[in-house]
Structure 1
Amino acid sequence: MADLTNKQQQFYNTLIGYVRKHFRWPTYRELADRLGFSSENSVTQYYNTLVSKQFLKKDSQGNYTFTNPTDVWMARDEDRSTRSIPILGEITAGTMEEAIEADLGEITIGDFFPNASNVFGLRVKGDSMKDLGISTGDRVILSKKELRDGDVGAVMYNGETTLKRAHVRKSGVRLEPANPDHDDIIIEPGEFEEVRVLGKYLGHISEDGLVKASYN
């Protein structure tokens, strides 16, 4: 993979920032306006360059995807430092007492996930894990860890990614969905080297808020 020039990196970072915020790709006009291009042709040229340098992929229908999804969903350090919940005082969990208002700091993502530097998120598309309460549009939280037998995680196999429960045996790996309408994915021992673990499932965020995994 070739290095990007400063302007190409700026274009790539703009794509990442937009998709993180809006969960969709920007239009050519939106990119041109954000980057100060006078023509949408410049956007096309940058897209072509990022494809040739293998930072993006383009399918037969002209749709782009990121070659490495973790580039997109890995939270940046400066993002983590600004995401917090203020602690506004104390409240008793025993007998009734007068509320005490004070600035007692903040709750950060590190309080939810102590190893936050190894944590990232991916947006879910599909219903194969619906029996775990994970639906299209939810954001799964993953840790860059190896998967143990029975763990749920995101894996890449044959260039494609999926979220499944992994059953690891000497006879192979079985990727099990949490939906009876979907079939298991069987990976034979000779194909292990083609499997890349993206992350272990820690929980997900839906319209109802944060749901943490039931295992450690």
Structure 2
Amino acid sequence: MKTLTDKQSRLWQFILQFYEEYHLLPSYSDMQEEFGYSSTNSIYQLLNSLVKKKYLTKDGPGNYDIHPTKRSELSSAFPGIPIKGRIAAGGMHEAISQNLGHLPVEIHPEKSDHYFALIVDGESMIDADIQDGDYIIIDPRPPKDGEIGAILYGGETTLKTIRMKQDGVELQPENPSYEPIHITPDEWEQITVFGTFIGKAWKKNGDWGLIFRSG
């Protein structure tokens, strides 16, 4: 087992404590504030060291999780799906903090290792039965043609159906009141893909459940 440096160890302990309280890993800003770093670069380097030493896993830009072999270091297990922020289903807006608790729902571990939830803002996807305020479930894999993708584009988030075109990619709203967004191949290479919409959560009489998208 690779030994942690003092800085890595302090960050690791903070991550464990934060996770136990909020059921999520701390954001870059949380870690900066805790340790007084003036930029995110120091945090980035420390996180990458924890990945290399198999304390964390990394699945895409900024998407870290506790390594399966290290979950025993948590004092308790938290069922559910982490809520990692909000996403626009309308006009695009800036991404929001990734510390919004968790959905108290359980999925078979083999299916839900990296699933996470986002809260929908806007009505551009209502014809896909995605309403303002819905909790949607995201699988962090790239969307295929015709699937609904969650992306970060130009510093802003959006949730749209992905349509592959010869001259690029079209982000298609599922509401006739909104216009599609065309992205050239060069632009598409520069965006961050959060993942693919696979379902959403519902709440009735205080109980939570999940409904998955078919097809």
Shorter chain as normaliser: what TM range? 0.5 to 0.7
> Are 1:149 and 2:145 an aligned pair?
yes
Aligned residue pair count: 156
Between structure 1 and structure 2, the one with the greater Rg is 1
1:166 correspondence with 2:169: no
Higher relative contact order (CA 8 A, sep 6+): 2
Q: What's 2:184 paired with? A: 188
Q: Kindly tell me: are residues 167 and 133 of structure 1, through their superposed partners in 2, closer, same or farther at Cα, counting changes over 3 Å?
A: same
How far off its partner does 1:159 sit?
Answer: 3.6
Amino acid at match of 1:70: N
SS state of the match for residue 176, structure 2?
coil
What is the RMSD computed on CA atoms of the aligned residues? Answer: 3.9
1:117-132 aligned at under 5 Å gives the runs: 117=113, 119-127=114-122, 128-132=124-128
Q: In structure 1, what is the Cα distance between the partners aligned to 2:132 and 2:61? A: 21
Counterpart for residue 100 of structure 2 = none
Q: Deviation at 1:20?
A: 4.3
Identity of aligned residues (%): 25
Say whether 1:8 aligns with 2:11. Answer: yes
Measured against aligned partners, the alpha-carbon deviations of 1:22-52 in whole angstroms (never above 9, x if no partner) come to xxx9xxxxx9xxxxxxxxxx98452645735
Q: Aligned with 1:109: secondary structure?
A: coil
**1:82-161 maps to which residues of 2 (within 5 A)?**
83=79, 109-110=107-108, 115-117=111-113, 119-127=114-122, 128-161=124-157
| TM-score normalized with structure 2 length | 0.54
2:89 paired residue number: none
Give secondary structure in 1 for the equivalent of 2:35: helix
The answer to whether the 8 A contact 2:120-2:136 is kept is no
Aligned 8 A contact 2:115 2:138 in 1: yes
Contact 1:124-1:140 at 8 Å conserved across structures: yes
